[in-house]
């Protein structure tokens, strides 16, 4: 419970925005819910299958993550093009994949391991780290 709202409620007439706010207030994230012994997915994470089918049916052939190629990004013309591609990807999708960035695989693997270690920590420890940022 957060702010007097039970995010695990089975009530089908719940206020989604209110429950999402309550979920944010507990600051535990999905991993925190799992660590708390969660045995059922809260309603705020569920979407009716007919709603999902309706939204996805007309997009199936169109789903492709935007890819931003950083080859020759140090050249002014190319840099302007990359900035425009990033703008479009973020406005359209909210995310993108970057290729030819030159970051060694060992560094990327280390970053993923760091994220994993952070998420495996106790909720209180994570909160103290986040507040210190």
Domain that holds residue 42: 1-58
> Please, which pLDDT band fits residue 62 given cuts at 50, 70 and 90?
low
Q: Give the CB-side neighbour count of residue 3, counting CA atoms within 13 A.
A: 11
| Cα separation, 130 vs 117, whole angstroms | 14
pTM over 0.75: no
pLDDT reported for residue 24: 75
In a domain, 114, yes or no: no
Whether 82 is in a domain gets the answer no
Whole-angstrom CA distances from 28 to 6, 10, 50 are: 15, 21, 30
Asked if residue 39 is part of any domain, the answer here is yes
- For residue 67, tell me if it sits in a domain: no
């Amino acid at each position: 419970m957060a702010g007097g709202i039970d995010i695990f409620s089975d009530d089908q007439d719940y206020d989604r925005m209110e429950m999402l706010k309550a979920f944010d207030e507990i600051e535990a994230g999905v991993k925190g819910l799992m660590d708390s012994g969660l045995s059922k997915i809260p309603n705020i994470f569920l979407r009716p299958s007919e709603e999902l089918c309706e939204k996805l049916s007309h997009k199936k052939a169109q789903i492709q993550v935007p890819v931003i190629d950083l080859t020759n990004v140090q050249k002014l013309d190319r840099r302007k093009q990359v900035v425009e591609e990033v703008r479009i990807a973020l406005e359209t999708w909210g995310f993108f994949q970057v290729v030819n960035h030159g970051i060694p695989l060992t560094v990327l693997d280390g970053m993923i391991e760091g994220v994993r270690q952070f998420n495996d920590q106790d909720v209180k420890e994570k909160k103290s780290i986040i507040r210190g940022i």
